[in-house]
C-alpha cells in the first residue's frame, strides 16, 4: 500500500540540444536529481530533473528536463519513505516524456534507466526554529545506526 498519491504532474522545463553530425556515434550519460518540499497539510512537492548528455561532447547533445509532482500523503509517514515513494511515482512519467520527446525529434527514442534510490543513502536536514541554515553536524543519514 502506498503512503503517497500523485495528485498532479507537470513538466516545467525541457531543453533539447542536438547538434550531432550525421553518422556520429554518441555515448550517453545520465544524471538525476530529486528534492521534496513538505507542507503542513499532508502535501508535498517533488521536483525531478533528468539530464542526458553525450559523454564526449555534451555541448553537441544534451537534454535537461525538470518535472514537478504534487502529492498527498498519509499523516505520520517518514520523510525518507515519502522521498522514495514520490520519486518512484514520478519517474515513469519523466521516462515517458523523454522517450516521446526524443522519438518526435527524428532520433531513436531514448529510454532513461531507472535508478533505485531506496538503495542509495538519503540525506536530509531539519531547519532550526530560528530559520538558520544547519551546521554540517545537523545532517541526518537515516541509515546511520544511532
CATH of the domain at 25: 3.10.420.10
Domain-located, residue 83: yes
Domain-located, residue 68: yes
Starting at the edge strand that comes first in sequence, how are the strands of the sheet with 61-73 ordered? 4-18, 61-73, 43-54, 28-38
Domain hosting 110: range is 4-118
**Sole residue written with cell 543519514:** 141
Domain-located, residue 123: no
Instruction: Report d(CA 41, CA 119) in Å as an integer.
Output: 29
Smallest CA-to-CA distance from 49 within 11, 76, 21, 22 is with 11
42 pLDDT exceeds 70? yes
Domain-located, residue 59: yes
- pLDDT for 146 equals 39
Whole-number average pLDDT of the chain: 84
Domain-located, residue 112: yes
Rounded to two decimals, what is the model's pTM?
A: 0.79
- pLDDT for 102 equals 95
- pLDDT for 141 equals 43
145 pLDDT exceeds 70? no
Domain-located, residue 61: yes
Beta-carbon-side half-sphere exposure of residue 135 (alpha carbons within 13 Å): 1
Domain-located, residue 130: no
> What's the number of domains the chain is made of?
1
For 10-26, write each residue's pLDDT tens digit. Answer: 999 999 999 988 788 88
- pLDDT for 22 equals 78
Phi, psi of 4 (to 5 degrees): -135, 145
**Sole residue written with cell 555534451:** 58
- pLDDT for 82 equals 92
Domain-located, residue 106: yes
DSSP 57-111: -TTTEEEEEEEEEEEEE-TT--HHHHHHHHHHHHHHHHHHHHHHHHHTTTSPPP-
Strand partners, 38: 44
Average pLDDT over residues 112-129: 67
Q: How far is CA 85 from CA 41, 50, 113, in A?
A: 18, 17, 17
Average pLDDT over residues 63-69: 97
Amino acid at each position: 500500500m502506498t503512503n503517497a498519491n500523485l495528485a498532479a504532474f507537470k513538466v516545467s522545463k525541457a531543453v533539447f540540444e542536438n547538434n550531432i553530425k550525421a553518422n556520429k556515434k554518441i555515448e550517453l550519460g545520465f544524471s538525476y536529481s530529486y528534492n521534496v518540499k513538505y507542507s503542513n497539510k499532508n502535501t508535498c512537492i517533488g521536483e525531478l530533473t533528468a539530464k542526458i548528455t553525450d559523454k564526449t561532447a555534451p555541448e553537441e547533445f544534451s537534454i535537461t528536463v525538470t518535472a514537478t509532482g504534487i502529492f498527498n500523503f498519509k499523516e505520520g509517514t517518514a520523510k525518507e519513505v515519502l522521498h522514495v515513494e514520490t520519486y518512484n511515482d514520478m519517474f515513469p512519467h519523466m521516462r515517458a516524456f523523454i522517450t516521446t520527446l526524443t522519438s518526435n525529434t527524428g532520433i531513436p527514442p531514448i529510454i532513461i534507466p531507472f535508478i533505485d534510490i531506496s538503495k542509495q543513502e538519503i540525506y536530509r536536514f531539519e531547519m532550526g526554529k530560528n530559520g538558520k541554515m544547519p551546521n554540517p553536524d545537523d545532517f541526518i543519514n537515516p541509515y546511520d545506526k544511532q
